[in-house]
Amino acid sequence: MADKVTSFDVARQAGVSQSAVSRVFTPGASASAATRSKVIKAAEELGYRPNTLARAMITGKSRVIGVVVAYLENQFYPMALEHLDHALKARGYHIMLFMAKNDDSVGQIVEELMSYQVEGIITASVAMSNDIAKRCHDAGIPVVLFNRGQDTGNLAQVTSDNVKGGRTVANFLFAGGHRKIAHISGWLESSTGLDRMRGFVDGLAEHGIAPVAVEDGRYSQKIASEITRSLCDSPDRPDAIFVGNDHMAFAVMDTLRFELGLSVPDDVSVIGYDDVPIAAWPAYDLTTIRQPINQMVNATVDVLLARIENDAASERIQIPGPLKIRGSAKKPKGFTR
Amino acid sequence: MADKVTSFDVARQAGVSQSAVSRVFTPGASASAATRSKVIKAAEELGYRPNTLARAMITGKSRVIGVVVAYLENQFYPMALEHLDHALKARGYHIMLFMAKNDDSVGQIVEELMSYQVEGIITASVAMSNDIAKRCHDAGIPVVLFNRGQDTGNLAQVTSDNVKGGRTVANFLFAGGHRKIAHISGWLESSTGLDRMRGFVDGLAEHGIAPVAVEDGRYSQKIASEITRSLCDSPDRPDAIFVGNDHMAFAVMDTLRFELGLSVPDDVSVIGYDDVPIAAWPAYDLTTIRQPINQMVNATVDVLLARIENDAASERIQIPGPLKIRGSAKKPKGFTR
DNA sequence: CATAATGATGAATGCGAATGCATAATTATC
DNA sequence: GATAATTATGCATTCGCATTCATCATTATG
C-alpha cells in the first residue's frame, strides 16, 4: 500500500512550493503555465489527487449533499435518486445517502449529516420535526423536501400539484361514467396523500357526488390489497378506485384481477399516481397522473443550490403533472381536462 | 445562521481543555466522570457535534464507503442498496453513492471517491478496469464487486452461484417436459450473464439437448422484447425461455402475452433470475432463481470491512440461491433439484 | 505512611490543503 | 528604457480535532 501522497510531495518533485501546487488545483487561482505543467507532471507521476476532506476543512465547502430516502421499493424513489445523482453531479456535488423510515431516526440521521458537514439536505418523502428543521437552519444547512410538503418549519419543498392531480382524476372518472368511486389514499399524515385526497374529493363534489369510500392505504401494498378486498366484499362494490400512488395501484389491480376475479377496467377502473416506469408495462398499463420527476428533481436541486450559494429564501414549488391515459380506466369520449 | 461551534467553544464553556472535550467524544479515551458530565452538558447547551471531517483527517478514517451502482431501474439494485445501507449503518459506516453506466466513467468516479478518502468501495454490477483496480490497491482502498465477478485485478467479489443457478433452471425446464428451450441471457460480457448461460447450457447438455437459441439481452427490457418477438416469429417457436434476470423476464412475459397473444406458462414457460419483489406480484408470478440478497450483502460488507480493518485477503464468495417455483413455468411432478 | 502504579489533564503538535500577505518576476505603458 | 501595473510565488497561518508527552491527582500495595 503506497503511502498517501500529499501536495508537499508533489511540490518537492516539481521543485515548487506547496502553495503553488494548491493553486494549480484550485480553479481560478493564479499560476504560470510553466509552474502548472511542472506540477501536473509531478502530480501524475506520483498519482496525486487533492484530499477533499482537507480542502473542505479550509474552505468550509464539502460539496456533499445529504439525501434521505424513506422507501426504495416504490420505484418512484430509485428513479428520483438516479435523477438526483445526475443533477447534482452536473453541479459538482456528491450524494451521501441515508435511509429513514418516516417515523423514526430522521433526527439521528440529520445529526450525522451535519457532522459530515454536508452543505445541504434533500429528503425524499420524509418529513422533519420542527426542532430538527430548526437545528439545520441554525447550522446554516438548507433543506429541501422532495415530494413532501410540510406547513411548519419553513422548509423549502418541491412537489407536484397534488390537489390538481386529484381533481383531474375525479373529472376523468366522472366523465368515464363512474358514480361509485372509492379512494385508497396515500398516507393521510403526509401532505401528498392528503392533497391528492382533497383534490379528488373536491373534484367529485363539483360533480355533485362523493366517494363511496376513502381509506388510508399508507403507501403499503399490503394494506391497499386488504382495503381492496373489503371494498369489493360489499354488494355495492365500487366501479372505480383512485389509488394514492402507482405502487399501491399495482397491488390493487392484482388483487382485483387475480384474487377477486374482476376485470380492470371493465368491472373496475383503476387510476394511480406517479407514472413510474412499471405503470407503462403492458401487464398493468396503468392510467395515472405523471409526476414530472425530472422537472421536480431539477427544481429541487436548483432551490437547494441557490440557498447554498446565496442564502436565497426557501420556496414552495408545485409542478403540475398531466394525466397519462392508458388502459386501466375507462376512457370517456372526447375528454378534456 | 449560528457560527460553527468547535471543541474549543465547548471547552471554554465547560471550563476544561480542548483535549478533554475531544476525549469525552472519543470512545475509549480516559476522562473522569466529572469532566465527562461537564463537557456533555456544555456540548448540549451549545449544540456541539464533533466535525467528522476534521476527525477523519487525523485518524485517517472517514467511515465512508463508496457505493457505485449501474442501474436503478432493475429493482434488484434498489433492494441491494437498502440492505447495504442497513448493514453498513450497523457497523458505523456511511454511503457515498455514485451511478455509473458500465462502459464509462467508473475511473472518474473512483478518483473522486479516493479524493474523498473513502475507506472502501462496493460496486454493484459494475466492473473495474485493471489499472483502476491497481490504483485502488495502491491507495490501500479495498474494493468488493457485488453481483459481478471479474477474473483480472485480484478483486474481492460476491455473487450468487450463477453457474449452479443456470443448471438448476435447465433441470427444471427439462423435467417439465420442455425440449425447445431458448435463453435470453444477461449481458454476456458480464460474469453473471456468462455464468448463468454456461450453467444453463451445460445443464441442458447433460440431458442431451441444446438450447434452440441463446441471445444476449444485455439486461435491457427493450432488447429482450425484441428477441422474444424474433424467437416466436419462427414456425418452430420455443416452448420455454430462460431469461437472464427478472427485469428482462417481465418484459418477455408482457411481450408473449400482450403482443404475441401467447399464454404463460401454457404456451411458453418463462423463468427469471433474481427473485425481486415484483416477481411475486400476481401479474407475473415468476418462477425464478432467488439471489439471497441479504446474505450477499452481508458477505459483501463482511469482506470489505475485514479488509479495511485488518488487511485481509480478497475473497471470492459464491452464495447458492434456490429455485423459487411459482406459476410462470410448468411444474414437473415430483421435481427434485 | 511511603512508594508504585494508574488515571486524568493540559499544552503542544500535526493531518493536508487553501489563502492573506509580502515580495519577486513579468508585462504594460509612456 | 524607466516606471507603473499586473501576475507569480513562497512563507506562514489556519481549519477542527486527535493524540503524544509530560505533569499532576488519585488509588493501590506492602
Cα–Cα dist B21/B6, whole Å = 10
**C-alpha cell, B178:** 420442455
The whole-number pLDDT of residue B102 equals 64
pLDDT (mean) for A125-144: 89
What is the mean predicted confidence (pLDDT) over A208-232?
97
First CA to last CA distance, chain A: 65
Residue B258 has pLDDT above 90, yes or no: yes
B336 pLDDT above the threshold of 70: no
Contacts of B135 in chain A (CB under 8 A): 47
CB-based contact A251 B281, cutoff 8 Å: yes
**Chain mean pLDDT for chain B:** 93
Say yes or no for a CB contact (<8 Å) between B54 and A57.
yes
Do A98 and B94 meet the contact criterion of CB atoms below 8 Å apart? yes
As a whole number, mean pLDDT of residues B90-113 equals 89
Please write the tens of the pLDDT for every residue from B154-198. 789 999 999 999 999 999 999 999 999 999 999 999 999 999 999
Alpha-carbon distance of A337 to A203, in angstroms, equals 12
Q: What percent of chain A has pLDDT over 90?
A: 82
Two domains, one topology: A7-50 and A64-160+293-319: no
User: How much is the pLDDT for B205?
Assistant: 97
Provide the pLDDT confidence category of residue A105 given band limits of 50, 70 and 90: confident
Instruction: Tell me the C-alpha distance between A192 and A50, whole Å.
Output: 43
Chain B positions touching A98 (Cβ under 8 A) are: 85, 94-95
Res. A152 pLDDT band, cuts 50 70 90: confident
Cβ B51 to strand D below 7 Å: yes
Q: What are the grid coordinates assigned to B206, written together?
A: 447433460
Mean pLDDT of A76-97: 96
Asked which of A144-158, A180-194, B287-301 is least confident by mean pLDDT, the reply is A144-158
Nucleic strand D under 7 Å from the C-beta of B32: no
Q: Is the pLDDT of residue A312 over 80?
A: no
**Nearest Cα residue in chain A from B276:** A73
Give the separation between CA B308 and CA A93, rounded to whole angstroms.
Answer: 26
SS3 content of chain A, % helix, strand, coil (to 5): 45, 15, 40
**Complete edge-to-edge strand list for the sheet that includes strand B181-185:** B213-216, B181-185, B240-243, B269-274, B287-290, B323-324
Q: Do A50 and B115 touch (CB under 8 A)?
A: yes
What's the CA A31/C1' D4 distance, rounded, in angstroms?
22
For residues B129 and B127, give the distance between their C-alpha atoms in angstroms, rounded to a whole number.
Answer: 7
Query: Cβ of B40 under 8 Å from any chain A Cβ?
Result: no
Distance in Å, residue B14 CA to nucleotide D22 C1': 23
Superfamily of domain B162-291, CATH level 4 = Response regulator (3.40.50.2300)
Q: Which residues numbered 109-138 in A keep a CB inside 8 Å of some CB on B?
A: 111-112, 114-117, 135, 137-138
In A, minimum Cα distance to B3 occurs at A139
Residue type, A45: E
The set of residues, in sequence order, having a beta carbon less than 8 Å from that of A113 and lying 6+ positions away, is A66, A68, A96, A98, A121, A141
- Average pLDDT value for chain A: 93
| Shortest alpha-carbon distance between residue B116 and chain A (Å) | 5
**Cα B45 from Cα B39, distance rounded (Å):** 10
Q: Number of Cβ pairs closer than 8 Å across A and B?
A: 146
By DSSP bridging, strand A94-99 and strand A213-216 are unpaired
Query: Quick one: pLDDT at residue B335?
Result: 64
Is B94 close to A94, i.e. CB distance below 8 A? no
**Who has greater pLDDT, A313 or B61?**
B61
- Residue A19, all three cell numbers: 502553495
pLDDT tens digits, one per residue of A48-73: 999 999 999 999 999 999 999 998 99
The stretch B49-58 carries a mean pLDDT of 94
Residue B64 forms contact with A (CB below 8 Å): yes
B260 pLDDT exceeds 70?
yes
Nearest Cα of chain B lies from the Cα of A2 at a distance, in angstroms, of 5
Q: Where are the alpha helices (DSSP H) in chain B?
A: 7-14, 18-25, 33-46, 52-59, 76-90, 106-115, 130-139, 162-175, 191-206, 221-232, 246-254, 293-310
Q: What strands, in cross-sheet order, belong to the sheet with A287-290?
A: A213-216, A181-185, A240-243, A269-274, A287-290, A323-324
Angstrom distance (rounded) from CA B164 to CA B181: 18
Question: What is the domain partition of chain B in residue ranges?
Answer: 7-50, 64-160+293-319, 162-291
Residue A245 has pLDDT above 70, yes or no: yes
Place of cell 453506466: B101
Given a contact cutoff of 8 angstroms between Cβ atoms, the answer to whether B257 and A230 are in contact is: no
Domain B64-160+293-319 has CATH 3.40.50.2300: yes
Q: Is A57 on the interface with B (CB under 8 A)?
A: yes
Burial of A295 (0-12, 13-18, 19+ CB in 10 A): middle
Categorize the per-residue pLDDT at B101 as very low, low, confident or very high, splitting at 50, 70 and 90.
confident
The residue ranking higher by pLDDT, B268 or B127, is B268
Instruction: Give the pLDDT mean for A187-201.
Output: 96
DSSP A104-171: SSHHHHHHHHHHTT-SEEEEES----HHHHHHHHHHT--EEEES---STT--EEEEE-HHHHHHHHHH
In A, residues 158-217, which contact B (CB 8 Å cutoff)?
A: none
* Cα gap B330→A57, rounded to integer Å: 62
Question: Is B79 at the interface with chain A, CB within 8 A?
Answer: yes
Label residue B239 by pLDDT band (50, 70, 90): very high
Q: Which residues of A touch B117 (CB under 8 A)?
A: 51-53
Helix (H) or strand (E) holding A303: helix A293-310
Check pLDDT > 50 for residue B247.
yes
Chosen for mutation from A61, A71, A75, A99 (greatest number of chain B CBs closer than 10 Å) is: A99
CB–CB contact B283 A282 (8 Å): no
**Angstrom distance, B32 CA to C7 C1':** 8
Joined grid coordinates for residue B192: 453473471
CA distance B219 to B225: 11
Element (H, E) at A94: strand A94-99
Q: Which three cell numbers stand for residue A318?
A: 408545485
* Lowest model confidence (mean pLDDT) among A48-52, A65-69, A314-318, B208-212: A314-318
Q: Does A10 touch chain B (CB under 8 A)?
A: no
Structural element, H or E, at residue B316:
strand B316-319
Kindly tell me the number of DSSP H helices and DSSP E strands found in chain A.
Answer: 12, 12
**pLDDT at B337 > cutoff 70:** no
| Beta-ladder partners of B64 | B94
Nearest CA in chain A to B83: A99
**Which DSSP letter does residue B257 get?**
I
Percent of chain B with pLDDT over 90: 82
CB B7 within 7 Å, strand D? yes
DSSP assignments along A186-211, one per residue: SPTTSHHHHHHHHHHHHHHHHTT---
Query: Residue B1: pLDDT band by 50, 70, 90 thresholds?
Result: very low
How does pLDDT run across B131-162, given as a tens digit for each residue?
Answer: 889 889 888 999 999 999 988 877 899 999 99
The B 175-204 residues near strand D by Cβ under 7 Å are: none
**pLDDT category, A336, cuts 50, 70, 90?**
low
The domain A7-50 is classified under which CATH number: 3.20.20.70, 1.10.260.40, 3.50.50.60, 3.40.350.10? 1.10.260.40
CA angle B161, B315, B139 (to 5 degrees): 135
Q: Are A187 and A219 in contact (CB under 8 A)?
A: yes
Q: How far apart are CA A106 and CA A102, in angstroms?
A: 7
Strand D: which bases are under 7 Å from protein Cβ? Answer: 7-12, 14-20
Give dist(CA A149, CA A160) in Å, integer. Answer: 10
Interchain pair A283, B1: CB under 8 A: no
- Among all protein residues, pick the one whose CA is nearest to the C1' atom of D12: A19
Mean pLDDT for the stretch of residues A14-23: 93
Query: Does B248 have pLDDT greater than 70?
Result: yes
What is the 8-class DSSP label of residue B76?
Answer: H
The C-alpha atoms of residue B98 and residue B309 are separated, in whole angstroms, by 24
Name the nearest CA neighbour of A153 among A124, A120, A130.
A130
β-strands A287-290, A323-324 pairing: antiparallel
Question: CA B36 → C1' C7, Å?
Answer: 14
Nucleotide with smallest C1' distance to residue A21 CA: C17
